Structure 1
């Protein structure tokens, strides 16, 4: 009889047990992750009632592959533009909650008498919520289109980024065993440098490669290419000194900005499910039921700390940044759990042998308990808000309402802020690119030249010369590129006292550029030939100087094209630019069974019956912004609608009769909500909405006006504009922003 490898037998045991437990948990309507963990406990060495795997080492390798695939798929759901669109509300709430939970977890560990390192890792474990569990709970409860869900997803993005950073920082901390050490500072700077290099280089190279190969890309080749790129980045990150998980996440984030992101996600689903199952089963295999019984008290305490601490801290953080009480409670109660990243952080401590053996199973047990309570916590947010609303004094309600409104009023961005931000961006990006070129040249190009082309000083000279040619466009941008010239000119002519700081900015850029050139010289040239190189470099600069801006513009335009490729191809964001009250933007597709099919917007009377406004109708390749009252709805129309959660829920019954499918729909043209401050320079002060012609200028609809603390939703066309108003305008993003720029220029003049 043929010999069957132990690996196949072990996989049969693992997947067979996992299949049974997941079917059970699916029937119980519980997260499948818990079923995988239970399967791991059953086939683990601590549970002798079922067959036990014979080769844990091989399964551990498969589990490591599972971590890589999970982080890669998580990166595919995140990109730089997504981080920018998270907004201040989710960013500040997330940072507040993460900092508070790390401190709370650390103090809890100390109170339990644990070691400092166990307490630090506990802080990292309890600060990260579970993206998988939250998304699944939102889908089951049908609340993905509600306003607070957008903030929850934004906070999850911030938590994912922090979790990846924690993997690096905790690894460094475990080695140095010091909070504020030189090693920690070096690790942070090294991480920041390589992140910039990887993202800038990856966004420039990877989408360009995929675009050039698009004629040959099939599902099979795309899957192989994406996995190859993932593993290549894993190897690079490991060689540089970071974790494989970081490399997988970065490559996923780079591919997330391409037009193939959704296709890769679809192709990767089966592989992710397979290796993810093996990973979570391996998590369960490390659990000792006797150890859980021994630490039942700490498990209960930490579970309470996670549920109460995260719900409270997220709610407080959201209130501090100006969110209404109800929305803050819904956000806080949704994030009261820990999940996949917590397992990975706990595994890191175990692999580095810096944490106690009991911490890992405790983390898994707490994750299982909080995953079970998540749907109930989300449902409890509404009743708790009603209970608080009945007991809060009118004065407290007025204060919260005023603070929420005041925190979201428009603040003008100063010219100095714009100029400094753009200077910092161009300095950081170009400095990192130049340093990367010098590093690659010294570590890879120089040995290559020495081996194949020249030796000694000639090799150094040739490698240095090629490095200078490569870095010349970025050096020009760093030192000489004009940044936001209209703002620069305005500041220069506005006050003489501004000229000193402006000159200082230019000198600073020149000094940084000179320092980088000296670093290049120090790497490749001896003192005797530095003068010769400077003469050659100066001649090269004179010859190519006029072409450097063109070369840099080509590089920059290609980078920006790659960065925005997915948005250009398909804008899939839901609930962008939220209004300061409960109304927000959402998307629907008109089903063939809709009672509204065939009727005009005037006949449907949507504003009167439901309180909603249709901002656009996408039909095939055509998009109608702010459609007229005589426009009809047809099956397959993709519509963008503004309303509150309750209004949209009622409206969805008209457009998508049960069973409703509330998947976000993509309009062909980009539309958004924007806000405009009305001052004395506003061209339509004293005119009514109808007379202003804003609808025709911006292809937009005024859906709200804030006036002296009063909010007017769906204002009549006879409403007059007054100085001090804040207008909320929905429609063509490009035209609205152009109108905003023209309005700002008028106010400056």
Structure 2
């Protein structure tokens, strides 16, 4: 995805939140109403845009991929925005420390649920693969979703947050595509119910009363996204035309706006009029979405005419120059610190989770079984044993990596910095152990400090702890990367470079009744007819890279095609239009018993020569013997008088044959 979509998403959210808050203050709706209104206007609708791209046949366009990348990031940032708005709503004022605490709590749950989910769920799906069919997979997926929804509610977050997290976890499994297929009808059903329920909350009287604000908000969204959305995509490094098309595509609000509006109502911080106003704005902007997307092309052409040529060339060549430039050697300090921060954060989160769960569930059981102090000892031993693989990883991760070796060889100052990172991680692990000892032990705190340092040293050197730590990490990384490895096996490495040029790579599926099925690539001659090249043919689990002219394509094949937006759109349209016109059956098949009497024209002929199939359009299934069993028919069988022949054919054909 890269840093470009992140820049665009953050810029759009900030600008549109400012626009929404400004409109709210302009109409004197109060601080909290204006703040929540800004949050609603900041989120474009993934569902509506995706459907609009499909209906307009634009999903294969280059700008569509950029828009969908930004929408995914907006959904993630929307979860964070909901937490921030909830914190502000509860306190009724901006408390910096309270907000920081809420963000840390959110980060803790995000890391914990994601890491545990990525570790456990793919293992469960692999173990139960033979037992899971489509129906079971649907039930399991929805059940897992509801499980995390309940956990999110218990933790004080919204149901949407839990469902979003489980969707993110399932999306990283190799079963993601199968889950998407079986869940799609349920998604459509609940989507319809959701929008019906939203529509029922619309009060026509409120709409008439707030007609002017509704019109102003619609204009603010469409003009704001056209200006700030385009500017954000330009800042992220997109060419001018792509930026305009992307910005115009995002000029609507949808499901996330309703969720934020519902959040404000549930927290009793927004007025009742705001929800129907937002629903009306969403309906109107959704109606104008296709027109905004279509308008992007002529607007881009007009802007290109008035923009100076040197500025236009700068916009067009930025990505080219960046891709063509020789990549600079990576800074080993940056790589090392980035990896350490992410890994230490994940392992520390797991250690804290083990301690919290142990103190909440295990400690009462141990005290009830063994008494107070013996129970504390048992709970402490079990807690430290469970957390030891994570504590070891906090201290030892990346200590033997290539970056560590490079830095240690360069200078003495680097060695000091490396040992400083080691000491800080050792201190963090020791502080975690100290917390457990200080909570459970009655001894003086200096003894706890010394014991903590000693225990961490023991954890580092125990082979069993090392083996468990490495195995847990390898399993997690295998689960995390399994889908990417499967998707990228043999994926062309030049795809990202193509995206920076005027051409890009996309994947299309050959329709079931395609007229191209069974034909060779040299016969279809796509390069001359459509101006595209076939980079790969994917058939099931098999992949043919850079196929030759003798390669054939079949229904269901996924073909990776290289071309520009216009040629790819023409190619996709022609592929969907050119299909075999199979004759439709006018009646059902019948199975009849035909007895060969004296004088029948078939007597003495073989089935091959009888014309039953070629002339009468029927098929002989078999012949009945004396015991009533049916013997399969062969083409060389000679038809004799008295034979009982079983015939299959359409109604009219069988009737004609029987006569």
TM superposition score category, shorter chain reference: 0.7 to 0.9
Contact 1:442–1:523 under 8 Å retained in 2 = no
Alpha-carbon distance in structure 2 between the residues aligned to 1:535 and 1:619: 57
For 1:19-418, list aligned pairs within 5 A: 86-406=1-321, 408=323, 410=325, 411-412=327-328, 413-418=330-335
Against the structure 1 CA distance between its residues 620 and 243, is the aligned structure 2 distance closer, same or farther, given a 3 Å change threshold? closer
Alpha-carbon distance in structure 2 between the residues aligned to 1:484 and 1:644: 46
Q: CA deviation at 1:230?
A: 2.2
For 1:523-602, list aligned pairs within 5 A: 523-527=439-443, 531=447, 534=451, 538=455, 541=458, 545-569=462-486, 577=496, 578-590=498-510, 593-594=514-515, 598-601=519-522
Alpha-carbon distance in structure 2 between the residues aligned to 1:305 and 1:539: 58
Alpha-carbon distance in structure 2 between the residues aligned to 1:607 and 1:264: 36
Contact 1:590–1:633 under 8 Å retained in 2 = no
Q: CA deviation at 1:227?
A: 2.7
Alpha-carbon distance in structure 1 between the residues aligned to 2:125 and 2:554: 35
Q: CA deviation at 1:565?
A: 3.3
- 1:316-343 deviation digits (Å, cap 9, x = unpaired): 1111121111111111111100001101
Q: CA deviation at 1:579?
A: 2.5
Against the structure 1 CA distance between its residues 235 and 403, is the aligned structure 2 distance closer, same or farther, given a 3 Å change threshold? same
The correspondence for 2:359, drawn from 435, 442, 446, is: 442
Alpha-carbon distance in structure 1 between the residues aligned to 2:313 and 2:143: 57
Contact 2:434–2:452 under 8 Å retained in 1 = no
Alpha-carbon distance in structure 1 between the residues aligned to 2:189 and 2:526: 47
Contact 1:596–1:654 under 8 Å retained in 2 = no
Task: Please name the residue that 2:343 is paired with.
Answer: 426
Task: Please name the residue that 2:377 is paired with.
Answer: 461
- 1:252-280 deviation digits (Å, cap 9, x = unpaired): 22222223333333333444344433332
Question: If the length of structure 1 is used for normalisation, what is the TM-score?
Answer: 0.71
Against the structure 1 CA distance between its residues 224 and 355, is the aligned structure 2 distance closer, same or farther, given a 3 Å change threshold? same
Contact 1:618–1:639 under 8 Å retained in 2 = yes
Alpha-carbon distance in structure 2 between the residues aligned to 1:124 and 1:653: 39
Contact 1:587–1:640 under 8 Å retained in 2 = yes
Structure 1: which 5+ residue stretches go unaligned? 1-85, 661-749
Secondary structure, in 3 states, of the residue corresponding to 1:228? helix
Alpha-carbon distance in structure 2 between the residues aligned to 1:157 and 1:348: 21
Against the structure 1 CA distance between its residues 357 and 579, is the aligned structure 2 distance closer, same or farther, given a 3 Å change threshold? same
Q: CA deviation at 1:605?
A: 5.6
Task: Please name the residue that 1:493 is paired with.
Answer: 409
The count of aligned residue pairs is: 572
Contact 1:419–1:483 under 8 Å retained in 2 = no
Against the structure 1 CA distance between its residues 392 and 419, is the aligned structure 2 distance closer, same or farther, given a 3 Å change threshold? same
Alpha-carbon distance in structure 1 between the residues aligned to 2:120 and 2:27: 50
Question: If the length of structure 2 is used for normalisation, what is the TM-score?
Answer: 0.81
Contact 1:594–1:656 under 8 Å retained in 2 = no
CA RMSD of aligned residues (A): 2.8
Q: CA deviation at 1:142?
A: 0.6
Alpha-carbon distance in structure 1 between the residues aligned to 2:501 and 2:456: 61
Match status 1:472 vs 2:388: yes
Contact 1:117–1:355 under 8 Å retained in 2 = yes
Q: CA deviation at 1:352?
A: 1.3
Task: Please name the residue that 1:634 is paired with.
Answer: 553
Alpha-carbon distance in structure 1 between the residues aligned to 2:315 and 2:111: 40
Q: CA deviation at 1:98?
A: 0.6
Alpha-carbon distance in structure 2 between the residues aligned to 1:598 and 1:247: 48
Secondary structure, in 3 states, of the residue corresponding to 1:527? coil
Against the structure 1 CA distance between its residues 635 and 429, is the aligned structure 2 distance closer, same or farther, given a 3 Å change threshold? same
Q: CA deviation at 1:401?
A: 2.6
Against the structure 1 CA distance between its residues 536 and 297, is the aligned structure 2 distance closer, same or farther, given a 3 Å change threshold? closer
Contact 2:39–2:260 under 8 Å retained in 1 = yes
Match status 1:625 vs 2:545: yes
Secondary structure, in 3 states, of the residue corresponding to 2:463? coil
Q: CA deviation at 1:555?
A: 0.6
Q: CA deviation at 1:139?
A: 0.8
Q: CA deviation at 1:611?
A: 4.2
Against the structure 1 CA distance between its residues 659 and 595, is the aligned structure 2 distance closer, same or farther, given a 3 Å change threshold? closer
Alpha-carbon distance in structure 1 between the residues aligned to 2:531 and 2:371: 77
